[in-house]
A and B are shown apart, each in its own frame.
Chain A
Amino acid sequence: MTSAAQTAHRTSGNPEVVISGVGLAVPGITFPDELLGAVREGGFDPHTGLTGREMRHKDRASRLALRAAEPALRDAGLHDGKAFTGDGDTTAVVVSSNFGILDSVCAFADVIARDTVTGLSPLGLPQTSSNVIAGSVAMRHGLRGPSLTLCNGPGSGLDAVYWARGLIAAGRAETAVVIGVEPSGDAVTKLLGEPVFDGAAALVLEARDRGARPRAVIGAGAYARGADPSVAVAAALGGRSPASVSLWLPGEDACGAPGGAPAFDLTGRLGRCSGALGVLQCAAAVAYFDRRPDEDAAVLASAGGPADDAAAALLLTAP
């Protein structure tokens, strides 16, 4: 056993978990504050941004995830522009994506019908499993801690942040890279009846006592999932008054308003974000706190409504 694994085990207890880095691969956007309306020239362009040697033979979701993960690691001080500088053995990867490989799966079925299996490319094998995205990110940066892929519906992104926090709290990891990604494609568009958000967001989570620059806090009881959006929101608020929420980032159907807090709908600009939404919401919350370093602010993110199998809510607080 490595000494790093022993270290991870020792630190289990109940550490305060913070977001220490954010990275985006969102069309037209460079920095997280643009999610909340800041305007800059340029921004990520998937037509030019997803090419290059290291992208070869990768599925679209993996490419988007790789483009978001590296800036998040750099933002957290865990990447020097050349390579990951953290401890690979104690770094987890958690991915949320509802439609990550749907287009690959449908395309492969088409090829089999037309040309039999001999028409398939052997290089497509990793894309038959939804965890290809987490595997791509882990391989690129040498992240050998736990790897989790959630395909869990509208709340999937917030669920992923919850489980990443849990991996750190349980001592299974010291750091977690969380990625929310949805790739566009013909099958996804047909299934949803509209194009899906085509991009990725990444966060770095770690225990505050590691000395990272904290950008937002994910508290121990700050997440809830349940049948009723309002109940989930109330549970995520814990003892806090709804009036203490400075910003509400609603889900696609705007359920679970925590009171009179101003709402900002990320999907107004980005479209239907599905499994990427929760991670985008956390990225936006970090941008919100970054702009208000002296305020005791709280941002509530919610997802899912009465038509879904469950609603999820997460309260992020200022560092």
Chain B
Amino acid sequence: MTWDITGMGAVASIGGTPQEIFAALCAGRSGLAGLRAFDTAKYRARQAYEIDDRARPGADEPGRATRWLRQAVAQALTDAGLPHDLADVPVLVGTTLQEQRSAELWWREGTPLAPSDLHFGTALRAEFGATRTYTFANACAASLYALAMATDLIEAGAADTVVVAGTDAIGESAFGTLDRVQNDIPDALRPFDRSHKGMLMGEGAVAVVVQRAPAAPEPGRRVHARVRAVGVNCDAHHPTAPDPEGITRVVRDAHRRAGVAAGDIDLVMLHGSGTPKNDTTEAGVLAQVFAAGPGDGPGSGDGGPLMTAVKSMTGHTLGGSGLLSLVVAALALRQGTVPPVLGLTDPVGEAAGLRLVRDTAATADLGLAQIDAFGFGGINAAAIVEAVR
């Protein structure tokens, strides 16, 4: 079975729609700026990829992750030509921090907070009448995990249309603890470059409408891309560090579910979080997976798929980052254009054999894309999407 992506919406530091974000990525435009959310004197790292939408500069406000989620879902529904009424439509939201920032502001500064503000069903009910709502707090693999659950729902006949989304706003405790833990102080997120010093957070939300493919072709029905499969698993190895074995397993599982060989993949949207540990692990696994071997389909022997990492310009948008990569993949497949990895000049050794797009956007004829997303708790997800022409 395959699943159609019929609507897309997204907001991030570099743009307020999927098209704006894609254009910024292709132009090599980053959302990096001085940290606006918190008192910078308390932190070592003083850069982030925030959405600059606070009413009063320098004063943080609650509810931003929820606000962007509503925007992204509304965009996706409009894009799909669907009414903004989700009474019968499941909405699956992947997030790392939920409304953690709102909880911090409540605790520290006394801004109002109700227990019901902590999960996104409350706002989705108010805005779209949705009740089949699920907040999956699945770290930075969350939105691709949510996509996997959506494909299962449709395959089981429990829904024909599902909205899948992701959202996160930067939180103090998460940003601060990461800052405390990273040995170096990154001034930018530079995935796979030898100069990478670690992860910097970004903000954003993303949503897609996933639909069962119609039994008969429907003229005029627009499909951005087709989901072939999503694999999910857990390393059960380390609380925060990636495990090459678990990542290898999830990538091969995604290929198997999609019925494709590694050699069929034309584009990989890397997790690429810019931590030395992620970059060497992910690059090492992909170098092995995409090493040409017997059984590879046509297209193998050309050096493997093109690869890029949008976090080099959006920062790590946490729970929504996997789905944001998928939206970018859908646009890349359609336009035959792949944004570069910003700031990549000297790849780490493990990435030496990978076709990472550098400096400027690449053009290519693309059919199949793989999207990676890995998170704390050792959880991994990999999706395979196909171009629709």
Contact = CB atoms under 8 A, between A and B. Distances in A.
Interface of A: 1-2, 5, 9, 88-89, 93, 98-99, 102, 104-106, 108-110, 112-113, 116-118, 120-122, 124-132, 134-136, 138-139, 141-153, 156, 159, 163, 166-167, 169-170, 172, 187, 190-192, 225-227, 274, 308-310
A135 B115 contact: no
B378 A135 contact: yes
A107 to B, nearest CB: 8
B176 A108 contact: yes
A150 B137 contact: yes
B136 A117 contact: no
A157 to B, nearest CB: 13
Contact of A149 (B132, B136, B174): B136
A139 B173 contact: no
Interface in B121-151: 121-122, 124-125, 129, 131-139, 145, 148-149
Given A112-B176, A117-B43, A310-B133, A126 B376 contact: yes
Given A112-B42, A139-B239, A120 B180 contact: yes
A126 B122 contact: no
A226 B378 CA distance: 33
Contacts of B38: 112
A117 B40 CA distance: 10
Nearest to B255: A1
A149 B377 CA distance: 11
A88 B235 CA distance: 10
Interface in B210-257: 232-240, 246, 249, 252-253, 256-257
A122 B177 CA distance: 7
A89 B113 CA distance: 40
A304 B236 CA distance: 33
Contact of A1 (B171, B238, B253): B253
A129 B377 contact: yes
A319 B237 CA distance: 35
Contact of A128 (B115, B118, B173, B236): B173
B116 A88 contact: no
Contacts of A190: 107
Query: Which of A1, A135, A139, A170 has the most chain B CB atoms inside 10 A of its CB?
Result: A135
Contact of A147 (B116, B119, B124, B234): B234
Given A124-B177, A149-B138, A310-B121, A109 B113 contact: no
Given A129-B137, A166-B153, A170-B152, A98 B118 contact: yes
Contacts of A109: 104, 107-108, 172-173, 176
In the A-B complex, the 9 residue pairs with the smallest Cβ-Cβ separation, listed nearest first, are A135-B377, A108-B173, A130-B137, A126-B239, A310-B131, A309-B121, A147-B234, A128-B174, A106-B107
A145 B180 contact: no
